Structure 1
Amino acid sequence: MIELAKKHLKKVLRVCGANRNCQYYPCHFDGQVCLWCYCPFYPCGDEELGEMIKRKDGTEIWSCMNCIWVHKPEVACEILREILELTKDKEIDEAIGILNNRELMMKIKENVEKKVGKNNNL
């Protein structure tokens, strides 16, 4: 394998695999897929995956600290597949504009749940 390919593959594995070099790894479970470090559905409002919590200042915020769903390999891959299908012929800024639609993102979440389930347990 040429060096440029190795370098690129390392970058892909860091993003798509278990990023054991991250100072926060594992933030959910050992062997998690880190592709969705920042969940594309946040805040999903799904009480099977997260909950509202109070901050120190008394305001509330959505917490997905106990959600492992998006970090499961089959779920992470299916989310990516859904997103790529919608954006495959788009430039990056246009794709982000499309995906910046909450209703669309919740539809993607629903589609993934139908395909792979929504079990939030290991």
Structure 2
Amino acid sequence: MVMIELAKKHLKKVLEVCGANRNCEYYPCHFDGQVCLWCYCPFYPCEDENFGEWIERKDGTKVWSCMNCHWIHKPEVACEVLKEILELTKDKSIDEAIGLLDDREVLLKIRNKVLEKFKKEKKDDTGGC
């Protein structure tokens, strides 16, 4: 069976977004093999100093830098964030979903839930250490 051209075109888009988009001129912006699903982090700026820091621009203003954050680009994290967003928005139109997700508190709840899940799994994997 041969895939139709429209399916190939769509699959290419999915792979570019959900995989390591080696065709991107900025790849890798964080680390080789990163998942590019969240090219623009939905939690930006998270203001969590475990993941980034405020830096000073040339004009003296501050901007949040997550240059050294790898968390959102890990496959298991990227997929879990998507799963949480889809669960929250499953009965909404796209415009309603965007409106809901435009609320910083809603996004931070998703972020915290995913962080806690992976903290717990990490503890489980290390015998609770």
Give unpaired runs (5+ residues) of structure 1: none
Partner of 2:28: 26
RMSD value over aligned CA atoms? 1.4
Which runs of at least 4 in structure 1 moved beyond 4 Å after TM superposition?
Answer: none
In structure 2, what residue type is equivalent to 1:84? Answer: L
Higher RCO (CA 8 Å, separation ≥ 6 residues): 1
Corresponding residue pairs, total: 119
Partner of 1:82: 84
Give me the TM-score of the superposition, normalised by structure 2.
0.89
Give identity over the alignment, percent. 76
User: Structure 1: how far apart are the matches of 2:118 and 2:15?
Assistant: 23
Name the larger-Rg structure: 2
Q: After superposition, give the CA deviation of every residue in 1:40-67 in whole Å (9 maximum; x if it has no partner).
A: 0000000000000000001111100100
User: Structure 1: how far apart are the matches of 2:77 and 2:96?
Assistant: 24
Report the 3-state secondary structure (helix = DSSP H, G, I; strand = E; otherwise coil) of the residue aligned with 1:13.
Answer: helix
In structure 2, what residue type is equivalent to 1:113? Answer: L
Report the 3-state secondary structure (helix = DSSP H, G, I; strand = E; otherwise coil) of the residue aligned with 1:52.
Answer: strand
Per-residue deviation, 1:114: 1.2
Give unpaired runs (5+ residues) of structure 2: 123-129
Q: After superposition, give the CA deviation of every residue in 1:60-116 in whole Å (9 maximum; x if it has no partner).
A: 111001001000000000000000001111111110000001111000000001112
